[in-house]
Chains A and B, each alone.
Chain A
C-alpha cells in the first residue's frame, strides 16, 4: 500500500511552497498526494432565515469557485509530475477539517504552509497550525 500525503492549500504562495515540498516527498516515498482546500465555515454561526434559504446555492458556488480558481489550475499545472493526485474541497474549521480529510483519505502525513492568504473564507494562518498540531494523529510538516 502506498503512502498518502495530505497538503492543505489556500491559493497563497506559502501553500504553493507546501505543495512543492509535498511533491518532493511524494516522489521520494512513491506516495500519492491529496490537495485539500478548506473553506472556513462554522456550523454554530447565527443566520437570518433568508441566508439559510440561500445557503445551499452559496455552498455550491463557493465550491465551484475554489475548484475553478485554485484547485483545478493547480492540479493541471502539476499533471506533468507523474504523481497520483487528487483534490478535495470541504467546508469547516480548517484544522479540524484537514484532520477529518486525513482520516478519510487514510493519509500518513499532513503538509501545510505557515501563513496563508488572509481572507474571510480561506484562512490558514498561525493559530490554525497550532490547532492542527494539537489535534493531529499523524506527523505534520510545516513549510515556512
Chain B
C-alpha cells in the first residue's frame, strides 16, 4: 500500500557525480503493521477490571465486664430476616412473642429483593425527602461540600428515623447481605446493623413461614 519510490536522486547521467541528496524515505509498512498488530492486541485483550469496595464498620464486641448498654429504641425499627432463595421476611417495631399492651404478637410479612426497596422507601419517606432537598441545595451551590456532608450525616443519624436490623439465618447467602446493605444506602437508612443470629422465637416464626413456601 505504501510504496515509497526508491532512488529518486540523480536521474540524468551527465555532469560530475554528486553525493546523493539524502533521500531518507524508509519503507515503513512493516513497522506500521507491527504497531497496529500490537495496538489491536492490547485493545482487545484489555478488560476493564473494576472492583470496588464497601466500607463496613462492625461494632466492637462489648466487654463482658462493662455494664450493659441501655436497650435501643426499637419502635421505629424494621427487622429484616434474610433466608434461602433470596426471600426476605420482616416485621416492624419490637418483637413481641405474645400480645402486650403495645400491640398484638409479631407476625412476619414476606417480601423479596425486587420489592424491598419500595417498602423501605415508603417507610422512610421523610428522610429521603430531606436528603433530596439537601442534594438540591448542594447542586444549586447554596451550600458547599463540607456543609452538605455534615448535614447529610445529621439527617441520616437522626434517632427518630427508620432503623433497620438485618438478620441472616443459616441459609442466607453473602450476596443477600451485601444487597441489603446496598438497599440501606439507597433508601437513606443511616443506622442499621447486621446480625447472623436469630432469637429462638424469631427462628420458630421464620421456620413456620418457610414451611409455607
Do chains A and B interact in one complex?
no
Residues of chain B at the chain A interface (Cβ within 8 Å): none
